[in-house]
Amino acid sequence: MDMIDCHHLTNEKPKPAMATFFSTFTAPNPLRSKSILHYNQQFTVKCAASSPSLPAPVQTFWQWLTDEKVVSSKSPAKPGTVTEGLGLVAQRDIARNEVVLEVPKKFWINPDTVSASEIGRVCNGLKPWISVALFLIREKLRADDDYSPWRSYIDILPECTDSTIFWSEEELSEIEGTQLLSTTLSVKEYVKNEFLQVQEQVILPNKQFFPFSVTLEDFIWAFGILRSRAFSRLRGQNLVLIPLADLINHSPSITSEDYAYEIKGAGLFSRDQIFSLRSPIPVKAGQQVLIQYDMNKSNAELALDYGFIESTPDRNTYTLTLQISNSDQFFDDKLDIAEMNGTKEVQYFDITLGRPLPPKMLPYLRLVALGGTDAFLLESIFRNAVWDHLELPVSRDNEEVICQVVRSACQSALSSYQTSIEEDEKLEREDITHRLKIAVGIRAGEKKVLQHIDGIFKEREMELDEYEYYQERRLRDLGLVGEQGDIIFWEPK
């Protein structure tokens, strides 16, 4: 099927500036995202859904849903071929918040579907996404004469998306030096390890269910399908594929995720559940119904999960990883203080273009860099108050060190990219492939965030003489500093 053209971190740790301080920029943990999956323009609709030129598998799919009474000729939206592959096209004008489609639970694919299926017994105890992935692969690879009720749905799933997990080595070389490359490689490594395990424990010992060869490629396909189309954060459903609803595409110009979809009771006298999708904006007949997938995902997450990015500046992020070095002589005290204040030995800070630094970043940096004559603050009598002190500059030395370390880490990260922002911006204006556009947007975005971080600490460095440090604050609190900042001495008469 060619709905979508089928093509497809560890950054160097900057040298610690001093023994007690270890700062590193690495890729965000790919599996750390809040939800495994979820979800400017109006896109051109190439052909109306009722058009005979709709691909045959999509027509078969629609017929199946019609026979099952999930849809009818009066349905407000139908599948159509659009620039993003398949999408949902309005059959008539649709009002804001109007229900576009409803899909009963019987047609969902989730871990319960797998449990109730032939392979349920052998999938017992597997991670939810792995059992659903095996289910999808089995449905896809089953012989044509082996009837499956899911066949017409499986047949409309794309062979791949533009997610970086499907990129060739050559395409990946365009994101050399980026956090996205490291994340992509670690995700692929993770998927590979899970595959090897499930192959040995489930696929090979159960030839009766898997009489065909299942490859790592099949497994990556299933992972990509789940990552790009499963819904999550729904009532009791953390991983669910909803056929038909998963044809909905994303629009950057819709800036609210509210009310687009929900799970509700099928009716007053029914205990069944139904998935209901609403249009967040009014849509004219013939136009595509679109939603906002996730306001909180960065461009790197969008590229990894779905295979597109946005030009919105605040989608550009860079994850700064800071760490209390375990060779730090004050390691135990620092860790205790960090943990008492909701941070860890290794702490990630997601920095977004044009936004202030995350609130805990400066105190954490100051804590990590604390040493020398400032080390008294680590003593246990200060334990409850120390974080408050770290919220403000502690000493000139401490503040200077954090500026130097962050700036040198930024410079080092910036030097690992192959191109300059100017070169990227020039390329962005040219006629390039969708994947190259993603690559160029990602590498330019990361560099801009690094420059943004560097700029913040450059400014701080220039203001070092203007800050009030711990000792001055202390003297002022004791009433020993006059209003003009002059130190008041007690003068004997």
Ligand X SMILES: C[S@@+](CC[C@H](N)C(=O)[O-])C[C@H]1O[C@@H](n2cnc3c(N)ncnc32)[C@H](O)[C@@H]1O
Cα–Cα dist 124/111, whole Å: 10
294 is annotated as contributing to ligand binding: no
Give how far Cα 406 sits from Cα of 124, 239, 414, Å.
47, 39, 12
Cα 395 from chain centroid?
Answer: 37
- Token pair 């749905």 is found at 153
Task: State yes or no: residue 280 binds ligand X (CB under 6 A).
Answer: no
Enumerate helices (H) and strands (E) in the chain, giving the number of each: 16, 10
- Candidate ranges 27-35, 172-180, 306-314, 419-427; the one touching ligand X (CB under 6 A): 306-314
Least distance in angstroms from the C-beta of 250 to ligand X: 4
Task: State yes or no: residue 79 binds ligand X (CB under 6 A).
Answer: no
Spatial CA neighbour of 166 closest among 99, 128, 221: 221
- Candidate ranges 66-74, 82-90, 231-239, 264-272; the one touching ligand X (CB under 6 A): 82-90
Q: What is the DSSP letter of 283?
A: B
Least distance in angstroms from the C-beta of 442 to ligand X: 15
Give how far Cα 333 sits from Cα of 327, 328, 366, 400, Å.
13, 10, 14, 22
Residue from 24, 33, 152, 161 that binds ligand X (CB under 6 A)? 161
Task: State yes or no: residue 38 binds ligand X (CB under 6 A).
Answer: no
153 is annotated as contributing to ligand binding: no
Task: State yes or no: residue 445 binds ligand X (CB under 6 A).
Answer: no
Cα 205 from chain centroid?
Answer: 35
Annotated catalytic residue within 39, 190, 259, 293: 293
Q: Does 293 participate in catalysis according to the annotation?
A: yes
Residue from 8, 138, 140, 250 that binds ligand X (CB under 6 A)? 250
Spatial CA neighbour of 178 closest among 454, 451, 444: 444
Least distance in angstroms from the C-beta of 3 to ligand X: 4
| Residue number closest to ligand X, CB atom | 85
Least distance in angstroms from the C-beta of 27 to ligand X: 21
Cα–Cα dist 364/369, whole Å: 9
- Candidate ranges 16-24, 305-313, 357-365, 438-446; the one touching ligand X (CB under 6 A): 305-313
435 is annotated as contributing to ligand binding: no
User: Cβ neighbours of residue 379 under 8 Å, at least 6 residues apart?
Assistant: none
Residue type, 83: T
Task: State yes or no: residue 308 binds ligand X (CB under 6 A).
Answer: yes
Least distance in angstroms from the C-beta of 38 to ligand X: 10
Least distance in angstroms from the C-beta of 152 to ligand X: 14
CB 449 within 8 A of CB 318: yes
Task: State yes or no: residue 228 binds ligand X (CB under 6 A).
Answer: yes
**Phi, psi of 458, rounded to the nearest 5 degrees:** -65, -45
Cα–Cα dist 469/490, whole Å: 22
Binding residues for substrate: 229, 233, 246, 261, 293, 306
Rule CB under 6 A: which residues touch ligand X? 3-4, 84-87, 158, 161-162, 228-229, 246-247, 249-250, 306-308
Residues labelled as active-site residues: 293
Binding residues for S-adenosyl-L-methionine: 84-86, 229, 249-250
